Amino acid sequence: MDHTALELIELGAVFFGLGLLGRLAGRIGLSPIPLYLIGGVFFGTGGVIPLSGIEGFTALAGEVGVVLLLLLLGLEYSASELVTGLKRSWAAGLLDIVLNAAPGAIVALVLGWGPVGAFVMAGVTYISSSGIVAKVLGDLGRLGNRETPVILSILVIEDLVMALYLPILTAVLVGVGLVGGLTAVAVSLAVLAVVLVVALRYGHYVSKVVDSPDREVFLLKVLGLALLVAGFASAMQVSAAVGAFLLGIAISGSTAENATKLLEPLRDLFAAVFFVVFGLNTDPRAIPPVLGWAVVLAVITTLTKLATGWWAARRAGIGPLGRARTGAALVARGEFSIVIAGLAVTFPGVPPELAALATAYVLLMAVLGPVAARVVEPVAHWARARLPSRRQAPAPSAGS
């Protein structure tokens, strides 16, 4: 069969299968993300029916999906709201680092992977998946909730930490020394500062540049600028997700509203591809040997993320239900964790088992995160309904 024809057939099967999985998820009241991931594993490396020939397209489409997820998330908030949230949540950001980086580092040391392995696994377990969190918040209709700015503030702090962590990790792995590591960090900080200044002071000019009464022109300008900013940010060792999010922050008013309506279908399409790509790159045969440690990390870091979100939301004056939703929303891990592990295992001295553990862990958390975000509210309502009934129960009589 002709190569192009085969690629079209495979892509058509992937997209149609995603549609069926999305419909199934809607019928059973579940986020489609876990089903997308499992579907990717089914058709990926070592799966039942491996696909070949479409890796280039799906990998790039997955990157575009993350950019669009974070761009539309940024469109929901203004630059002033971002700054206010960062000021309020910096302490929660520090707690997040301590609680969620430590489990990965400790397990790596227990397994004998040394300081470098500990540094790598600390990053894997620390950072939540901005892409999955953004998708879940949109699916559950929580973008306008009171706790959502707290969630976004923590995610932005995590991405900013990654802007410092990744250059340091690269310097540690290649052994460039202190000067080289500090230079990489300085470049990352400079790029972040420039983007933040543009978003805060010149956002209205950005809105004017991308705005257009013609829908086609508007779409091309917004999407093109988002990819440009994300690409330049990534080239400067800053997260592409951070660049896309800050661009969304810079676009305001009616321009932001129109951009959201226009980009939502594209976001949903490419975001679905992103989650499938993650599953496609997961070899299920590598998971069983490290599954026990992955489960241990999943349990511990689910609890630590719940604690982080609860404490951060409490500081913001949010009630118990909102605190629970905040913690549950942060549980998922994803794209950054895989990037960290993939970067590390290409260097000598890092055990290959680390990649398998990171993959098993992220797959568990990528499935557990959306489920936790979905069930936390019904569980909280059930608990709240049960507790008053116990308090109001009549005391037993003396003769009983």
Per residue in 247-274, pLDDT (tens digit) is 887 887 788 888 888 898 888 888 888 7
Q: Taking a C-beta distance cutoff of 8 angstroms, is the pair 229, 279 a contact?
A: no
Q: How far apart are the first and last CA of the chain?
A: 82
* Mean pLDDT, the chain, whole residue set: 81
1.10.3430.10, 1.20.1530.20, 1.10.150.120, 3.40.50.920: CATH of 30-49+70-380: 1.20.1530.20
Q: Taking a C-beta distance cutoff of 8 angstroms, is the pair 127, 162 a contact?
A: yes
Residue 394 has pLDDT above 60, yes or no: no
Residues 6+ apart with CB under 8 A from 115: none
H-only helix segments in the chain: 3-28, 33-43, 55-75, 79-110, 114-126, 130-139, 148-174, 177-201, 203-210, 215-235, 240-250, 253-280, 291-315, 320-329, 335-344, 353-391
Per residue in 268-280, pLDDT (tens digit) is 888 888 778 777 7
Residue 246 has pLDDT above 50, yes or no: yes
Q: Which amino acid is at 77?
A: Y
CA angle 125, 59, 172 (to 5 degrees): 40
Q: What is the pLDDT of residue 188?
A: 66
Q: What is the pLDDT of residue 393?
A: 46
Q: CB count, 10 Å around CB of 214?
A: 9
Per residue in 62-117, pLDDT (tens digit) is 888 888 887 887 787 666 666 776 777 889 999 999 999 999 999 999 999 888 89
Give the number of residues written for the chain: 400
Q: Taking a C-beta distance cutoff of 8 angstroms, is the pair 218, 212 a contact?
A: yes
Average pLDDT for residues 201-223, to the nearest whole number? Answer: 87
Q: Taking a C-beta distance cutoff of 8 angstroms, is the pair 344, 296 a contact?
A: no
CA distance 148 to 366: 19
Residues 6+ apart with CB under 8 A from 104: 118, 121, 122, 123, 124, 125, 126, 297, 301
CA distance 353 to 305: 25
Give the closest residue to 374 by CA, choosing from 88, 142, 130.
142
Backbone φ and ψ for 80, nearest 5 degrees, come out as -65, -40
Distances in Å between the Cα of 336 and the Cα atoms of 40, 129, 333, 341, 342 are: 18, 7, 8, 9, 10
Backbone φ and ψ for 225, nearest 5 degrees, come out as -65, -40
Per residue in 228-241, pLDDT (tens digit) is 988 887 777 666 77
Q: What is the pLDDT of residue 29?
A: 64
